[in-house]
Chains A and B, each alone.
Chain A
Amino acid sequence: MYTISQLARMFHLSRSTILYYDSIGLLKPDERTNKNYRLYQPRSVKKLEMICELRNTGLSLKSIKQIISNRKAEKDSALQERLHAINQEINTLRKQQQVIVSMLQRKDPARNMRYVSREQWVKFLRTAGLDDKGLYKLHVTFETSSPEGHQDFLESIGLSEKEIKQIRDASKEGLPPEKT
């Protein structure tokens, strides 16, 4: 037979927790001493072990009470339900995690030239006196002097990844050939 203090030590619980389990009818003492102290038999120790285990899965005391008074099949289905709920919580958290990551990765909106389209750039540059050859040379020079800046500029005027790659590849081809 075990006293309440022994049980508390065994499972790292406080005495008041075990008293509470008694008060809600989850774990009743098997006997009382003549001084009215609670005493527990080994099967109650096993039961408390099970209670602690189920508590670690996040189940409420109310569910635990139902589970341990029921048969195994019912216990399993309660556990499966809990597992399902946990999986859904994980999915929700994962989605929130993705949103946060993409928020942090998003570039500073001030660096986007939202008001200037690619067509407008071409038009303005032509008006400034650049012809097709000049525009091409601009890309080639940009790619040579500052590849990252070129990429950043093309992104900022709203070109797709594919378009950017095409332009940059063509610009690289225009690099002065290596001396032979």
Chain B
Amino acid sequence: MGAVTVEEWINLFKAVGLSDEDMKKWHRLFEDRNPEGHLSFLKWLGLPAEKIEEARSL
């Protein structure tokens, strides 16, 4: 199983030119449009519960 870490994901987004602010916006959009999907993505990345809360309340 090729688990992707959150660091890898952030590097990926940075590599394609997304800024920290873009990523925050993206989390907000994700949470707004599809909260369950956002949660399942964060779980898929293997984030601990408190980090998941953080990303969902940006």
Number of A-B contacts (CB under 8 A): 79
How far is the CB of A20 from the nearest CB of chain B, in Å? 57
Question: Do B43 and A110 have beta carbons less than 8 Å apart?
Answer: yes
Whether A134 lies near B16 (C-beta < 8 A) is yes
Residues of B near A141 (CB, < 8 A) are 12, 15-16
Determine the main DSSP class of B at the interface with A.
Answer: helix
Beta-carbon contact of A120 and B16 below 8 Å: no
What is the CA–CA distance of A172 and B15 in the complex, to the nearest angstrom?
A: 16
Chain A 104-144, CB within 8 Å of chain B: the 1/0 string? 00010011111110001000110111100010011001100
What total of chain B residues lie within 8 Å of the partner, measured CB to CB?
Answer: 27
Binding site of A, secondary structure by majority: helix, strand, loop or mixed? helix
- Does the CB pair A146–B26 fall under 8 Å? no
Determine whether B49 belongs to the interface, using a CB cutoff of 8 Å to chain A.
no
Flag if A130 contacts B16 (CB, 8 Å).
Answer: yes
Using a CB–CB cutoff of 8 Å, the interface residues on chain B facing chain A are 1-4, 8, 11-13, 15-18, 22-23, 25-26, 29-30, 33-34, 36-37, 39-41, 43-44
Tell me the A residues contacting B by CB distance below 8 Å. 107, 110-116, 120, 124-125, 127-130, 134, 137-138, 141-142, 145-153, 156
